[in-house]
Amino acid sequence: MKKVLVIGSGGREHAIVFALSRSPQVGHIYCAPGNAGIAQLAECVAIKDTAVDQLLDFARKKQIDLCVVGPEAALAAGIVDVFRAAEIPVFGHSKAATQIESSKEFAKQLMAKYSVPTAAYRSFADYEEAMQYVRSRSTYPTVLKYDGLAAGKGVVIAQTEPEAEHALKDMLVGEAFGKGKVVIEDYLQGPEFSFMAFVDHHRVYPMPLSQDHKRVFDGDKGPNTGGMGAYTPLPFISPEEEQWALKNILQAVADAMVNEGTPLTGVLYGGLMKTKDGIKVIEFNARFGDPETEVVLPLMETDAYTVFHAIATGEPLDTIHWRKEATVGVVMASCGYPGAYEKGVEITGIDAFDGLILHMGTAIKEGRLLTNGGRVLMCIAHGKDISDAQRKVYTEIKKIHCTNLFYRKDIAHWAL
């Protein structure tokens, strides 16, 4: 029986652990650092996701057969390179390949070189030059992206020149982000969606399309968050458009990365937009999306160990099979999120929920389940179509009680 180490502590990692726990090949799962929900399926180990040397020591000691890496911070810290050098099979991209996410400029240059459709852009390291460019164009909104990992805070859509000036000062002059570059790009319009695929060099295995809900309140109001819910499938992308995006975006980037000497060996996440001029790339991530993974991965019929292990070791796979059920997932978040919030508030009733609950930020103390983050639980239901799954999840979610949790009431509204 195989021993697997999963790195990370969110809902995405709970989804990965849940998928692996259903594999008859898997005997034991460790998760570093994990959370209270993951602890029901895996042995949680108190090692930080970026403590690469400690994680390697642990993997060696336990004779791990496979390591699956969730968060981008661990990938960007080079965990895959270190495990590979130690000849431990690891699912995730090398540090160099992770630049597709960790450097906006790298991603934009790659797309320009290989004609992958995306917004036109320029990049700047100098504040005065950047401001001169913004003034000379004077088209608003304009999109400013910090060139580096910025925990979701690196993109500003400036509506006016003073807003652009303020954001550029923060990114290029102030101390908030550290020294770096800024990509300034055209503002695109249209519905956004997520297209994830398992990628091993030239081999690309697509996952079902999904959509995230970034704003905190119903009707897509309020500040951006890490994602308040997700669903699959998407009625507004036709099978032809999906095939087009697979070939011209995901496969094109997989091939380009091989050509550049930085092949992909994990998940490629395309954050795409359906504009009036066709589907274009908004961003790439080098990992599973969160919360999209929580609605997509439970639909995978193919054995998860087989899939992760094949990508990690470069073995070809047959087609990956997916259940065709509609799935809706609703995030329960701490009141105040994405701003300041309280932790340690008791949650009851989750055992009564008929469906799947994946934990995003929870802890157990003296047998009581407590909130332990901004996004706390993802409540998931399957159905024969989106409205069926939506109805189920909103009926069941009422069984969960906590005085400090709230959720959006309209997840999947774009699909109805």
Pairing of strands 2-8, 26-33: parallel
For ligand AMP, the closer CB: 45 or 155: 155
Task: State yes or no: cis peptide before 263, omega within 30 of 0.
Answer: no
Q: Work out how close the CB of 396 gets to ligand GLY at its nearest, in angstroms, rounded to a whole number.
A: 23
- Count Cβ neighbours within 10 Å for each residue of 378-398 and write b for 16 or more, e otherwise: bbbbbbeebeebbebbbebbe
Select the residue whose beta carbon is closest to ligand GLY and give its number: 289
Question: Is residue 119 at the binding interface for ligand AMP, with CB under 6 A as the rule?
Answer: yes
Tokens coding 9: 């502590």
For the chain, the straight-line distance linking the first and the last C-alpha, in angstroms and rounded, comes to: 44
Query: Binding string to ligand AMP for residues 260 to 289, with x set by CB under 6 A, is what?
Result: -----------x----------xx------
Question: Is residue 158 at the binding interface for ligand AMP, with CB under 6 A as the rule?
Answer: no
- Does residue 20 contact residue 304 with C-beta atoms inside 8 Å? yes
Amino acid at 214: K
Q: Of 212-251, which residues contact ligand GLY (CB under 6 A)? A: 212, 227
Name which position in 31, 67, 182, 188 contacts ligand AMP (CB under 6 A). 188
Strand partners, 232: 327
Pairing of strands 229-232, 326-334: antiparallel
Q: Closest Cα to residue 380, out of 316, 297, 268?
A: 297
For ligand GLY, the closer CB: 225 or 404: 225
For ligand GLY, the closer CB: 242 or 290: 290
Q: Work out how close the CB of 77 gets to ligand GLY at its nearest, in angstroms, rounded to a whole number.
A: 18
Question: Is residue 292 at the binding interface for ligand GLY, with CB under 6 A as the rule?
Answer: yes
Tokens coding 95: 């540090």
Picked from ligand AMP, ligand GLY, none, the partner binding residue 101 (CB below 5 to 8 A depending on kind) is none
For residues 221 and 26, give the distance between their C-alpha atoms in angstroms, rounded to a whole number: 43
For residues 358 and 38, give the distance between their C-alpha atoms in angstroms, rounded to a whole number: 8
Q: Closest Cα to residue 247, out of 235, 237, 255?
A: 255
Task: Determine the interface stretch with ligand GLY among 250-258, 287-295, 299-307, 367-375 (rule: CB under 6 A).
Answer: 287-295
Name which position in 142, 251, 285, 327 contacts ligand GLY (CB under 6 A). 285
Task: Determine the interface stretch with ligand GLY among 139-147, 282-290, 314-322, 395-403 (rule: CB under 6 A).
Answer: 282-290
Pairing of strands 43-44, 26-33: parallel
Name which position in 163, 165, 192, 218 contacts ligand AMP (CB under 6 A). 192
Picked from ligand GLY, ligand AMP, none, the partner binding residue 292 (CB below 5 to 8 A depending on kind) is ligand GLY
Tokens coding 57: 């020591």
State the number of binding residues for ligand GLY (CB under 6 A): 6
If phi > 0 it is left, if psi is from -120 to 50 it is alpha, else beta; for residue 222 that is: left
Name which position in 290, 294, 303, 396 contacts ligand GLY (CB under 6 A). 290
Name which position in 8, 89, 289, 373 contacts ligand GLY (CB under 6 A). 289
Q: Closest Cα to residue 94, out of 286, 362, 291, 353?
A: 286
Question: Is residue 383 at the binding interface for ligand AMP, with CB under 6 A as the rule?
Answer: no
Query: Which parts of this chain interact with ligand GLY (CB under 6 A)?
Result: 212, 227, 285, 289-290, 292
Residues of the shown chain interacting with ligand AMP in the complex, contacts defined by CB under 6 A? 119, 143, 145, 155, 157, 185-188, 192, 271, 282-283
